[in-house]
Amino acid sequence: MSAPRWRLAPGLIFGRAALAIYLVIMVLWLTFPVVLVLLASFQGTLEVSWPAPVSFDAYKTIPPSYWEAFWFTIRAALLATGIALLVAIPAAWAMVRGRLAGRRVMSNLVLIPDVVPQLILGIALLTVFIPLRLSNSFAGVMLALVALSLSTGLRFTEALLEGLPDEYEQAAQSLGADKLTAFRLVVLPLIAPGVAIAALFIFMQNLITFELLFFISGPSATPIAIRLFSDIIDRGIVPYAVAMAGILVYVAIAFYTLVAVSLGPKYMAGSVMSRKG
């Protein structure tokens, strides 16, 4: 009835081998940037050779302007994440529980900064920020990040609240709590873990945003991605820039570890965030 197994074997072995080769090539291909950047950052030169003596020269020579840009980005990203979540959580709650007319329209409006290409939004912001003296300033960069984080934050928190049954709040209200108390004592603790993860994602997104900030940043407000970018244009690739790129790799690895430890690696599949451009 069934074909004998051994007759399939050569084809099967060939298929298996092809699959294994494909898998190895893909994994190598996917890991090469991280591996190369880290290798180069520990050699102090731009030529990657192996084996090579480990040297921390590149890290030691990172100029202050790079660290300034790094901490500038961290500050702006943190503040933007905080503001965006403070605004997004009540809005999401009102949109999900309030059954307001035109809810879809409102939540789609808030998603605009995420849907419009970042390059275009950046140009639009430049035209507004120049007369307001917000371009080339911390406030301008932060405002742009707030708009972006708000979109992501609303999408996250709306999904969190939609997954939360209405009954918990109703139970609290039937025991005499008003809506706000029910929100504070029941809803907020229940969504807090999800919000923490959302905050982490939004923070990372802010950290790596480039196209949105390129036009509105300047000499006195330079995110780290733009610092690395403009240096490569001005003077080509330099060892300390590679070291800074290495530091960004560490940050990304730390982020992954945090999320994977708290959620399990499964969660990262198809997850909400991806770099735009």
Partner 1 sequence: MTDMIDTHSSGRSAPDVQDHGRRVSRRRLRREKLFYRLLTLPALTIVGLVAIVPLLLLLVGSLREQRSGLFTLDNYVNTLSNGFFMRTLATTIVMAGGVTAISILMALPLAYLLARRTLLRNIVMPIITVPRMLPFVVIGYAMILLLAPMTGVANKVLMGLGILQQPAFILFDWPGQAIAFAYNGIVVATAVLTGVLMSVDPQLEDAAVSMGASKVRAFFAVTVPLATPGIIAASALIFTSVVTAYAIPVMLNGRVPYMVSLLISANLLTLQQQNLAYAQAIIVSVLALGVTTIGQVVLSRYGQRGGDK
Site for partner 1 in 175-214 (CB under 8 A): 179, 204, 207-208, 210-211, 214
183 Rama sector, left if φ>0, alpha if ψ -120 to 50, beta otherwise:
alpha
| 218 phi, psi to nearest 5 deg | -165, -170
Q: In a 3-state reduction of DSSP, which class is residue 137?
A: coil
| DSSP designation for 133 | T
46 binding partner 1? (CB under 8 A): yes
Number of Cβ within a 10 Å radius of residue 220: 9
Distance CA 118, CA 189 (A): 34
Nearer to partner 1, 220 or 274 (CB): 274
Q: What one-letter code names the amino acid at 100?
A: L
Asked if the bond preceding 51 is cis, omega within 30° of 0, the reply is: yes
Site for partner 1 in 133-152 (CB under 8 A): 143-144, 146-147, 150-151
263 binding partner 1? (CB under 8 A): no
Site for partner 1 in 69-108 (CB under 8 A): 87-88, 90-91, 93-95, 97-98, 100, 106
Contacts of 51 (CB under 8 A, 6+ apart): none
Binding partner 1 (rule: CB under 8 A), the pick from 21, 24, 185, 232 is 232
Binding partner 1 (rule: CB under 8 A), the pick from 52, 74, 78, 123 is 123
Nearer to partner 1, 192 or 268 (CB): 268
Site for partner 1 in 9-38 (CB under 8 A): 19, 22-23, 26-27, 29-34, 36-37
Per the CB < 8 A criterion, the answer to whether 69 and 222 are in contact is: yes
Least Cβ distance, residue 168 to partner 1 (angstroms): 18
243 binding partner 1? (CB under 8 A): no
Binding partner 1 (rule: CB under 8 A), the pick from 47, 64, 189, 261 is 47
Tell me how many residues contact partner 1 (CB under 8 A): 90
Question: What are 120's two structure tokens?
Answer: 């275009």
